[in-house]
Structure 1
Amino acid sequence: MIVSGDDPVSRGAQRFEVFTGAGKRREWPPEVKASIVAECYSGREGISAVARRHGLAPSQVYAWRRDLLKRLDVEGVVPPSAEPEAPAFVPAVIEPSTMPEPAPARRARRQRRAKGAAIELEIDGVSVKIGHDADAGMITAVIDALRATR
């Protein structure tokens, strides 16, 4: 069943390419191939996205990458890593509070439950509050960062 707006005819042509010459294959200069393969190593998008943007099949880009890696291996050059760098924490500067603590307010008869209940961690005199919506990975990362500063 074809839903209107779902078939290629109603969407219109997205790309139109005219092949000239005797062959029906496109010729890619080595510089262009290298540029497309280099985009795959940027870490911003995957090989499939790069291939789609250039009108290629992902298998073609994988083949170009494999050929490039073989050539680099023969020449003794270390290829770049395709894995993006792991995120790292920025060092935090913790300054003592210079403001006096406010006087405790009179409590009402009925106490309301705090909407933004938080987790408070104290490691080696450093106190950190984490919001109630933080996941376990975030809490673990904060604890690891605090331990690393010791």
Structure 2
Amino acid sequence: MFGSGLRRWPEKVKAQAVAETLEPGATVNAVAARYGMKPNQLSAWRCLAKEGKLVLPAAEMSDEPTAFAPVVLCEPKPPQAPHPSRQSDDSLRLVFGDVTIALAADTPAVRIAEIVHALGASS
């Protein structure tokens, strides 16, 4: 009996393939061909990455200088009883110029670092 034809890809391989599609001049079709997969599968992984469900490898540092972003720590607000008509806002906000990114309070530090790195690379 033949197998289902479905292949299980390790998360690292998925992340690497998606990262390769983000390189200048790369196309989803070309990267998919190198990995022996259909382009629509790779596109689905790209969607997962955009939703934060697939963590991409950190970009390799080239000869570009390292950029640092200031971090502002604030005293936490004292706990308050939630208003019955409002849900609590247990989130983390990253502010970079005019851009504010809201993340869940339990967002892994690695993901936060990747986002900060990406914001710094885009400036």
TM-score, length of structure 1 as denominator length: 0.34
Looking at both structures, which has the greater relative contact order when contacts are Cα pairs under 8 Å and sequence separation is at least 6? 2
Greater Rg by CA: 1
